[in-house]
Structures are given as structure tokens and as C-alpha cells.
């Protein structure tokens, strides 16, 4: 097969695949932010002195991390309608991947919180700060700076995991590639292009994270907080 012909074929399918790439980005970033919100709440509960909160958060983390993401997606899309809950493929993907990511981000955030010296917690208590104020103004700002690389790695993982949503029919990048193959019978060129787009996207995300990490880790960088005690 002529090399120029292959290039022309890739060029011809690129606009269609880029439309799927937008859906992939939507699933990846929205599920990441959903997981981040869940992760902060569950991560704080994991280090709480409240036994009930600690137990509930632990069960959530263990159940979600102990079952395959693909099974969770299939259960949400095909199983929940039996109890009257019908979700679109896109919403199913965002919610399920976000909830799944929340368990992993919770462990990342928990580790970040526990990496902060306990002396800072005691000093904040001595100033009369509440637990909420300590977490918001003292612990979390430092913990989040320390876990930026791990969070970005989770984001990259979610971008790749979004391809699992193709199994329930959402036309994201991988699914659109399958559509093209079913009509052209040219899997090599199609999957090569799909893989290349994923690589470019994930590589760019990692590079942007390096810039952010470098910024927040500038020596002497101190942010001023107003503590309302």
C-alpha cells in the first residue's frame, strides 16, 4: 500500500476522530473533577477521629477499588434501569469513572494529609482553630501541593480509561475508531491514529503538570492566609 495513500486516509478520518477526542476530554476532565471532590471529602474522613466516618469511607474505598471499572460501568448502564434509573452513556461514563476515581484520589489525598508534620496540627489547635479551619487553611493547601504529580497521573489514567465507555455505545475516540474500521476494514491505520491522539493528549497533560508543579514548588513561595479564629 502506498505511503502517501495511507497518509491521505489518516488525514481524511482525522476530523471525525477529533470529534470523538472532544468527548474523551469531556469524560476525562469532568470525571476527574468529580473524583477530586469526592476524594477530598473521603480523604478527610479517612483521617478523621470519628469512627463512623472512617468506617464508611474505608468501605467505599475498598469496594470501589476492589471491583473492575468495566464491571462498574456495565452495572450502572445495564443494571440500574431495573430499579428505574436510566442514564445516558455519556452521563454513565462521567459518573462511574468519577466515582471510581474518587476512591483512588481519596487515598492520594489521605497520604498527602498524613505527610504534613503533626506539629502544625497541634499548633493550629493551640491557636483555637476549628477542625474545618485547620484543614482548609493549614493542612490541605500544603497537602495538595505535594500530591500534584499523583493527581496528574490520575488524570492521565482517566483520559485513557474513558475508552471503556465505548462498550456502552458512547461515540468517544475509541468508539469512533471502531465505526471507521467497520466500514473501511483498515484497523492498522485507524488504531495507530487513535493511539497517537491518546499519546499526544496524555503527553501534553503531563508537560502542563510539570509547569504547574514547578510554579507551586518555587523556593521561598509562601502564600499568605488570613486565619479567622
Asked whether residue 229 is assigned to any structural domain, the reply reads no
d(Cα 89, Cα 134) in Å, to the nearest integer?
40
What domain range is 14 assigned to? 3-216
Q: Tell whether the model's pLDDT for residue 219 goes beyond 70.
A: no
Asked whether residue 222 is assigned to any structural domain, the reply reads no
pLDDT computed for residue 222 by the predictor: 39
What is the domain count for the chain? 1
Task: Name the CA dihedral angle for 72, 78, 81, 87, rounded to a multiple of 10 degrees.
Answer: 70
pLDDT computed for residue 217 by the predictor: 61
Q: Tell whether the model's pLDDT for residue 226 goes beyond 80.
A: no
Listed ranges 101-105, 137-141, 206-210; the one with the highest mean pLDDT = 101-105
Residue 108, CA distances (Å) to 18, 61, 64, 166, 169 in order: 32, 12, 15, 28, 31
208 pLDDT band, cuts 50/70/90, is confident
Asked whether residue 227 is assigned to any structural domain, the reply reads no
- Output the domain CATH number for residue 157: 1.10.3720.10
Asked whether residue 73 is assigned to any structural domain, the reply reads yes
Asked whether residue 87 is assigned to any structural domain, the reply reads yes
Range 4-10 average pLDDT: 91
Asked whether residue 172 is assigned to any structural domain, the reply reads yes
Asked whether residue 224 is assigned to any structural domain, the reply reads no
Least confident of 20-24, 51-55, 143-147, 208-212: 208-212
Nearest to 137 by CA among 228, 49, 204, 40: 228
Q: What three-state secondary structure class fits 130?
A: coil
Q: With pLDDT > 70 as the criterion, what percentage of the chain qualifies?
A: 93
Asked whether residue 26 is assigned to any structural domain, the reply reads yes
Amino acid at each position: 500500500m502506498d505511503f502517501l495513500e495511507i497518509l491521505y486516509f489518516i488525514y481524511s478520518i482525522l476530523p471525525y476522530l477529533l470529534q470523538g477526542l472532544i468527548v474523551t476530554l469531556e469524560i476525562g476532565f469532568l470525571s476527574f473533577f468529580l473524583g477530586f471532590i469526592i476524594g477530598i471529602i473521603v480523604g478527610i474522613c479517612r483521617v478523621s477521629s470519628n469512627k463512623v466516618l472512617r468506617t464508611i469511607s474505608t468501605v467505599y474505598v475498598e469496594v470501589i477499588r476492589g471491583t473492575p471499572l468495566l464491571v462498574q460501568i456495565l452495572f450502572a448502564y445495564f443494571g440500574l434501569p431495573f430499579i428505574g434509573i436510566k442514564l445516558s452513556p455519556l452521563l454513565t461514563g462521567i459518573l462511574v469513572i468519577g466515582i471510581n476515581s474518587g476512591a483512588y484520589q481519596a487515598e492520594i489525598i489521605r497520604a498527602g494529609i498524613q505527610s504534613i508534620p503533626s506539629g502544625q496540627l497541634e499548633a493550629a489547635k493551640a491557636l483555637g482553630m476549628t477542625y474545618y479551619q485547620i484543614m482548609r487553611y493549614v493542612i490541605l493547601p500544603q497537602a495538595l501541593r505535594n500530591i500534584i504529580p499523583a493527581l496528574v497521573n490520575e488524570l492521565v489514567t482517566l483520559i485513557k480509561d474513558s475508552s471503556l465507555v465505548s462498550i456502552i455505545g458512547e461515540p468517544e475516540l475509541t468508539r469512533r475508531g471502531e465505526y471507521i474500521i467497520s466500514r473501511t476494514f483498515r484497523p492498522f491505520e485507524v488504531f495507530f491514529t487513535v493511539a497517537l491522539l491518546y499519546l499526544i493528549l496524555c503527553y501534553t497533560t503531563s508537560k502542563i503538570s510539570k509547569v504547574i508543579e514547578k510554579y507551586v514548588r518555587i523556593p521561598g513561595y509562601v502564600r499568605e492566609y488570613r486565619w479567622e479564629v
